[in-house]
Chain A
Amino acid sequence: MFLYDFTQLTSSIHSSLVESFGEGALTTTIELAIAGVAYLIFFAVLGLFLVYLERKVCAFIQNRLGPMRVGPWGLLQTIADFIKLLMKELIYIKSADQFLFNVAPFIVITASFLAIGAIPFDKGLQVLDFDIGVFYVAAVSSLGVLGVLLAGWASNNKYSLIGAMRSGAQIVSYELSVGLSLMTIIVLAGTMQFSELVAGQADLWFIFKGHIPAMIAFVIFLIAGTAETNRGPFDLAEAESELTAGFHTEYSGIKFALFFLAEYINMFIVASIATTVFLGGWMPLHIPGLDGFNHVMDFIPPVLWFFMKAFTVVFIMMWFKWTFPRLRIDQLLTLEWKYLLPLNLINIVIMTIVVLLGWHL
């Protein structure tokens, strides 16, 4: 069954392509195109589903039903919304810097595209497997903020500019916490490569292996990750009540849709990294000693495990958004620089001691 091991599927595609086109540039180009199209489709479907999920979760928390009219349980609602967005006029802004205004959404979406390529969905279902995997994702996701800054400035609108500045300050400072909390687990795992990280969790997930420091790191990662994606309660960059819509106030139609999509995809990327680094990636839940239980768990395909875990984390992040009130900018920066960062540094030292003394499971 290819659901359990995608290397067979990819190698069969590769061998059939080699048969018909031979080894060389043409095969490589076709393979690159296939991977690119697959990711584009995945992006679109995932974006539509996450928006639907957000509206349903929000409705559930606020004791409503959410979208119900279009399709069964409103499943087609986001598709209808998307078609409407495509039809919308792209408003030309006379006093904006046209070039930067148009290029900004693409920087944001390219950054999330680059990041999602490194995430392993299953054995062999991963495009980029660098030996510096975690570092690579941290590096490319730091590019997204540039798009936000450019969008805010090029719009030539005071609300957009304030939104962009807030967002910039926020993302730049919370990147530290994201990186350091991932570093805590890298100390435990001894590798940065995603495939090795997943393989190292075959017997037990890192969050249980590293017990107390790993759990602290997980909580910090969730908080900082939510902040990095500009989502509530950290969404002051687009605080509707004060800044209309922050950096994307002036955007309309498909360009707005790109920002919107990037926000949801980034949320999914944060959830996937949390899944891969802390919760075992596509590895089933294994408990050492309980062989029968482990065998039963092995029957669930790894892809399903991955998406189950990732969507659980996504649900938690949506829960944050609809439960907590928005922070002020000074509260936000205090939280990062005075609480999360020192805690994180101490936590790394604790993790190092745990690893050196062999106290992990």
Chain B
Amino acid sequence: MNVIFFYIIAAAILGFSILSVTSRKILRAATFLLFVLISTAALYFLLQVHFLAAVQLMVYAGGIAVLIIFSILLTSNVDFTFEKIDWKKQVFSGLLALGGAAITILTLLQFNFNSLVTKQTVTPDIRSFGRAFLSYGDGGFVLPFEVITVLLLAAMVAAIMVAKKSKQ
């Protein structure tokens, strides 16, 4: 059952990724990208890592995809399509993509996945996430957590400064 679902989701991810890069209408490409992100979240749900799946939906699908689509909405028109790319570029980028895929697949095939199986047996729940974020002992993430918070705060203040009308 899980295997069947895995193949369905994997096929969806692959199909939508290909559609996303080949579509010549920019908002369609963005929509296919959204579907890829949602399918990835489905994969996480299948693996029973609910927190990661919800974060994927919230941050990527509900946040970044909305941002992308919003900016496309403001800048482009329905009738606009990209020009057809000339065949030299197509061949070159196709070769590049194939090379990248070959390297990734080779690395994956050589990796010994069985060594990971015995190490992780507990399914992480939301409480252990919370504790790990705020503990400074072994296995705690309080420093990166705080650094990211400060970074986000700085980004937000900067955004407000940019958006603010100057007083004149």
Q: Interface on A for B, CB 8 Å cutoff?
A: 24-25, 28-29, 95-97, 99-100, 103, 130-132, 135-136, 138-140, 142-143, 145-146, 149-150, 152-154, 156, 161, 164-165, 168, 172, 175, 192
A97 CA to B79 CA, complexed, in Å: 8
**Can you pick out 14 interface pairs between chain A and chain B where the beta carbons lie within 8 Å of each other?**
A25-B1, A28-B1, A95-B79, A96-B78, A100-B28, A131-B50, A136-B50, A139-B58, A146-B65, A152-B73, A153-B72, A154-B78, A161-B73, A168-B73
> Whole-angstrom distance from the CB of B113 to the nearest CB of chain A?
25
Binary CB contact string for chain B from 11 to 23 against chain A (1 if under 8 A, 0 otherwise): 0000000000000
10 nearest A-B pairs in the assembled complex, by CB-CB distance: A142-B62, A139-B57, A139-B58, A156-B78, A139-B54, A25-B1, A130-B50, A131-B125, A136-B54, A135-B54
Report whether A153 and B73 are in contact in the complex, using a CB–CB cutoff of 8 Å. yes
A165 CA to B72 CA, complexed, in Å: 11
Q: In the assembled complex, which residues on chain A have CB atoms less than 8 Å from the CB atom of B63?
A: 142
Which residues of chain B from 59 to 107 have any CB-CB distance to chain A below 8 Å in the complex? 61-63, 65-66, 69-70, 72-74, 78-79
Interface size class of B (residues with CB under 8 A): 20 to 34
Report whether A103 and B31 are in contact in the complex, using a CB–CB cutoff of 8 Å. yes
Q: Is B43 an interface residue (CB 8 A)?
A: no
Known: A140-B57, A143-B61. A99 touches B73 (CB 8 A): no
Q: Interface on B for A, CB 8 Å cutoff?
A: 1, 4, 25, 27-28, 31, 34, 38, 50-51, 54-55, 57-58, 61-63, 65-66, 69-70, 72-74, 78-79, 125-126
Q: In the assembled complex, which residues on chain B have CB atoms less than 8 Å from the CB atom of A130?
A: 50, 54
Output the nearest chain A residue to B70 by Cβ-Cβ distance: A168
Report whether B38 and A143 are in contact in the complex, using a CB–CB cutoff of 8 Å. yes
Q: In the assembled complex, which residues on chain A have CB atoms less than 8 Å from the CB atom of B4?
A: 25
Specify which of B58, B62, B69, B79 is in contact with A150 (CB 8 Å cutoff): B69
Q: In the assembled complex, which residues on chain A have CB atoms less than 8 Å from the CB atom of B62?
A: 139, 142-143, 145-146, 175
Q: In the assembled complex, which residues on chain B have CB atoms less than 8 Å from the CB atom of A136?
A: 50, 54
Report whether B51 and A132 are in contact in the complex, using a CB–CB cutoff of 8 Å. yes
Report whether A95 and B78 are in contact in the complex, using a CB–CB cutoff of 8 Å. yes
Output the nearest chain A residue to B78 by Cβ-Cβ distance: A156
Report whether B34 and A192 are in contact in the complex, using a CB–CB cutoff of 8 Å. no
A279 CA to B82 CA, complexed, in Å: 53
> Whole-angstrom distance from the CB of B125 to the nearest CB of chain A?
5
Q: In the assembled complex, which residues on chain A have CB atoms less than 8 Å from the CB atom of B1?
A: 24-25, 28-29
A175 CA to B57 CA, complexed, in Å: 14
Report whether A145 and B27 are in contact in the complex, using a CB–CB cutoff of 8 Å. no
Known: A28-B1, A97-B78, A136-B54. A146 touches B34 (CB 8 A): yes
Known: A139-B62, A150-B31. A132 touches B73 (CB 8 A): no
> Whole-angstrom distance from the CB of A168 to the nearest CB of chain B?
6
Inter-chain pairs besides A100-B28, A139-B61, A172-B66, 7 sampled, C-beta below 8 Å? A95-B78, A97-B27, A140-B57, A142-B58, A142-B63, A143-B38, A168-B73
> Whole-angstrom distance from the CB of A278 to the nearest CB of chain B?
20
Output the nearest chain B residue to A24 by Cβ-Cβ distance: B1
Known: A97-B28, A139-B62, A149-B66. A165 touches B78 (CB 8 A): no
Output the nearest chain B residue to A26 by Cβ-Cβ distance: B1
A274 CA to B69 CA, complexed, in Å: 30
Q: In the assembled complex, which residues on chain A have CB atoms less than 8 Å from the CB atom of B125?
A: 131
Specify which of A25, A29, A132, A153 is in contact with B78 (CB 8 Å cutoff): A153
